Amino acid sequence: MESTTKIGIIICDRYRRCAGGKCLRAIREREGAFSIYSETEIELVGYTTCDGCPGGNIEYAGDEMVKNGAQVIHLATGLIVGYPPCPYIDTFVEFLKNRFNVDVVIGTHPIPQKYLDMHTRLGTWEDPVWKPRIVTTMADAATRVRYN
């Protein structure tokens, strides 16, 4: 690997007690949204919640992560697989990009199969706006089951 990409992760506040195991495994295994870093090392420089709707911590978290060198901020998979999915996700993406001039990726670890099954039954992701939001975290069936 040639270089290091510094990243921050913002998780949904509903999962504020999350220890980050799935995200950290996905970083290590270069799975889900972290598959884009196959040619670079990853250094995690920040991990926090949005602070709940409507995302009161987004500005502070982005600022702190960028001060710590973040080049990319990932909005965790929990923001898309929770029910309901985060209604502010597009607002967060635009704000972080424009305020801090960083890349923003929707997703971290692969979508667990149990969440894909539920959202398929509910029709959550049938709207075409969801296709680009979930593409980085959609994996093959075996990988999705491993993340259940």
Domains of the chain: 3-146 (3.40.50)
Residue at token pair 């598959």: 35
Terminal alpha carbon distance of the chain = 30
Six token digits for residue 31 = 């799975």
Average of per-residue pLDDT across 139-143: 95
- Cα–Cα distances (Å) from 88 to 80, 99, 145, in that order, read 11, 16, 28
DSSP assignment letter at 107: -
- Cα–Cα distances (Å) from 126 to 42, 88, 115, 121, 133, in that order, read 33, 18, 14, 10, 12
Q: What is the pTM of this model?
A: 0.95
Considering the chain, what is the average pLDDT of its residues?
A: 96
pLDDT tens column, 23-57 = 999 999 999 999 999 999 999 999 999 999 999 99
DSSP assignment letter at 56: T
pLDDT at residue 133 is higher than 80:
yes
User: How many C-beta atoms surround the C-beta of residue 133 within 10 A?
Assistant: 20
Question: What 3-state class would DSSP assign to 34?
Answer: helix
* Confidence band for 2, pLDDT divided at 50, 70 and 90: low
pLDDT at residue 1 is higher than 90:
no
Cβ contact 41:71 at 8 Å:
no
